[in-house]
Structure 1
Amino acid sequence: MDITIVWAAIIAFGLAMYVVLDGFDLGIGILFPLFPDDDERSRLMSSVAPVWDGNETWMVLGGASLYAVFPMVYSVVLSALYLPLLLMAICLIFRGVSFELRGKARRTRHLWDLAFIGGSAGATFFQGVVIGSWLSGMPVVDGHFAGGAFDWFTPFSLFTGLALVITYALLGCCWLIAKTDGDLRRRLYRLATPLTVLQVATILGVTLWTPQLAPMFKARWSEPAVMLPGLLAPAVVALCACGMFYAVRQRRRTRPFVFALGFVLAGYIGLLATVYPFAILPGVNIWQAAAPRSSQTFTLIGAAIVVPVILAYTALGYRVFRGKTDHAELHYH
């Protein structure tokens, strides 16, 4: 068994869980300006209040795993993307504080609303910037980052930041459709259609732009192992778009969220198929970036305990708090 591949799969799984779970609650903050009524905003926050902090556990797992198992990736990415990662962390702090204090504030509640909006949108945008910068490549010399402090600031990374904002907004919208009712839910249905159109447009934009970043991407997409997912991805995106439009028109409660997840998973699988087995683009693979096998084995024992525990309490939390969020059910107060 190749333990390096096992660890790469664990980290990929953890990041996917983070995008799916924390994506929709960040998306709620992005949608906040469209719902100025204070009572509606309380309902929006209550829909994720029991689970939002647990969702971020997957980010912690991914970062800790990179540090322990792929130290070169950790050091290079942190050096190359220090500013966007720092700004993302600051945004997450503001968002978390606003989540805890908004329900207790009275005269300053509008300020905490702004912190929640800015923290959610900012954290999402800089996550997208990190993805775009990683895809664009990072110069590495003797295992260390050899570029500049602002190499991440490119049109492509800014576009991927915007694309992730749209993705999370759609996830948040569809989550709220499943958790709310009445006039609020009807307005969310109307919002889902334009967000779906923007989602398809950004997926198309990233798909067409990525091969222009480096010759290796064009070569990779011509390989049989990558060509099949590459051919299936547009079909999956088209299927999800059609399913989303139909589900919204039929006023389905949970299916829009399922199709929104389909967009995310299709894009994520396509990304992994494109870059595997590289850990740092354009030329450092996962075996070159990995820690010694003894370190990987030792940390894998811990992961075998921790990951099932995280999965168990995540599943339990969503099961306990399943169903719609009632008007008076303000969990975060």
Structure 2
Amino acid sequence: MDYALIWYGLIGLAVLIYVILDGFDLGIGILFPSAHTGSERDLMMNSIAPVWDGNETWLVLGGGGLFAVFPLAYSVVMPALYAPLILMLLGLILRGVSFEYRFRTKRGQFLWDSAFFLGSLTATVMQGIMLGALLQGIRVEGRSYAGGWFDWLSPFSVFCGLALVCAYVLLGACWLIIKLPDDLVSRYYVIARRWGVALVVCIACVSVWLPLSNPLVAARWFNMPNSALFFVIPLIALVCIVCLFRALVVHKAVRAYLWGIALFIVSALGFAVSTFPYLVPFAFTFREAAAPDSSLSFLFAGAAILLPLIIAYSAYSYWVFRGKLKHGEGYH
């Protein structure tokens, strides 16, 4: 078995699942100030209260898996991204504390509302910046990071941070349409369409910007026979975009949410095509960064047991708390 390739796929899958699942609740945090009343904010928070911490399991799996399975990549990527990573974790901690304290106070509730928004926004922007920094490449000499403290901060990485905000807000609005009472959802259809347009513009800009700034990516996409095969991906993305907006126009909430997820998956596939087989773009391939096969096989045996359990309890949580919320109802 090619354990290095299997783990490359598993780590990528864990990160993608995290982005999809934690994306909508981070998006709801960013949308928090747009709520008209305190009771609406209560419903927004209660729509994700049963599942938000379980969603972050996939972040732990992705980060911990990278350390255990691809230690060379971990030792290079972490120094390159220490600053945005620490800010992301602080944002996640801030919003996690907000869940616990917001419902315990009335006089200071506005402070925890602000903390929930700022934590969600910070975590989202930092995740996008880290993605942009990875896509633009990391400077490596030998087997060590050779860049500076602020190499992660560039116009491209900042734009990726803004793009991820658009993406998460779209998912968050679609989730609220599914979960909130019917008398509150009409405004979120409008929000979803507006931020969906912004996301499409961002995807188009990144799709042009990345190959123009990196000749390796340009060669991957614009040389035959690769072009004939890979240009199926933009066509699929176009189908997802059309179906997403059609679902939003005809008020099909679940369908819109699923097409939004499909657009995430297609975008991730585009990033994979741009960087494969590099795990640290464009310095180390996943084979060069992998631990010995004996370690990979041992870890895979554990993952084969734990991953189905994680998927099962996550699916069960969503099933138990399915359906729309009612006014005055909550899980706190």
TM-score, normalised to structure 1's length?
0.97
Q: In the TM superposition, what is the alpha-carbon distance from 1:52 to its structure 2 partner?
A: 0.4
SS of the residue corresponding to residue 107 of structure 2 reads: coil
Checking the alignment, whether the CA contact within 8 Å between 1:128 and 1:163 is kept in structure 2 is yes
Task: After superposition, give the CA deviation of every residue in 1:158-204 in whole Å (9 maximum; x if it has no partner).
Answer: 00000001000000000111112333101111111111111110000
Structure 1 residue 119 and structure 2 residue 119: aligned?
Answer: yes
Distance 1:228 1:21, change over 3 A: farther
Equivalence for 1:95? 95
Deviates most, 233-242 or 145-154: 233-242
* Contact map agreement 2:169 2:192 (CA 8 A) in 1: no
* Partner in structure 2 of residue 286 of structure 1: 286
**In 1: Cα distance, 2:14 partner to 2:51 partner:** 17
* Corresponding residue of 2:143: 143
- Alignment match, 2:276: 276
Is 1:317 the counterpart of 2:317? The answer is yes
Q: How does 1:159-170 map to 2 (within 5 A)?
A: 159-170=159-170
Q: Does 1:195 align with 2:200?
A: no
Q: Aligned partner of 1:323: which letter?
A: G
> Deviation of residue 237 (structure 1)?
2.5
Counterpart residue number, 1:104: 104
Residue pairs, 1:1-333, within 5 angstroms: 1-222=1-222, 226-227=226-227, 230-331=230-331, 333=332
Give, in angstroms, the shift of residue 104 of structure 1. Answer: 1.2
Q: Which runs of 5+ in 1 are unaligned?
A: none
- Relative to structure 1, the CA distance from residue 192 to residue 90 in structure 2 (aligned partners, 3 Å threshold; closer, same or farther) is same
| Distance (Å, rounded) in 2 between the aligned partners of 1:215 and 1:319 | 46
Deviation per CA, 1:19-47, whole angstroms, max 9, x where unpaired? 11000000000111111410000001111
The CA distance in 2 between the partners of 1:99 and 1:224, in whole Å, is 52
Any stretches of 5+ residues in structure 2 without a counterpart? Answer: none
Provide the C-alpha distance between the structure 2 equivalents of 1:17 and 1:225, rounded to a whole number of angstroms: 31
Secondary structure at the residue paired with 1:279?
A: strand
Question: How much does 1:212 deviate?
Answer: 2.1
- 1:147 alignment partner, SS class: coil
Superposed displacement of residue 206, structure 1: 0.6
Amino acid at match of 1:92: L
In 1, Cα distance between equivalents of 2:176 and 2:81: 33
Provide closer, same or farther for how the CA distance between residues 50 and 229 of structure 1 changes in structure 2, counting only shifts above 3 A. farther
Contact kept? 1:95, 1:119, Cα under 8 Å = yes
Cα distance, 1:229–1:96 mapped onto 2, change above 3 Å:
farther
2:29–2:120 CA contact under 8 A, matched in 1: yes
Identity %: 45
The one-character-per-residue Cα deviations of 1:30-86 (angstroms, maximum 9, x if unpaired) are 111111410000001111110000000000000111000101111111100100000
Distance 1:304 1:85, change over 3 A: same
* Cα displacement string for residues 79-119 of structure 1 (whole angstroms, at most 9, x for unaligned residues): 00100000000000001000111111110000000000000
* Cα distance in 2 between the residues matched to 1:279 and 1:153: 20
**One-letter code of the match for 2:190?**
R
Find the aligned partners of 1:183 and 1:208 in 2 and give their Cα distance. Answer: 41
CA contact (8 A) 2:277 2:285 kept: yes
> Taking structure 1 as reference, are residues 51 and 224 closer, same or farther at Cα in structure 2, changes over 3 Å only?
farther
Contact 1:200 1:237 in 2 (8 A): no
**In structure 1, distance between residues paired with 2:229 and 2:272:** 10
Does the Cα contact within 8 Å between 2:220 and 2:226 map onto a contact in 1? yes
The 1:228–1:127 alpha-carbon spacing in structure 2 relative to 1, beyond 3 Å, is farther
The alignment of Structure 1 onto Structure 2 pairs a total of residues equal to 332
- RMSD, aligned CA: 1.3
Amino acid at match of 1:44: M
Contact 1:226–1:274, Cα closer than 8 Å, also in 2? no
Greater shift in the superposed pair: 39-48 or 300-309: 300-309
Following superposition, the deviation at residue 213 of structure 1 comes to 2.4
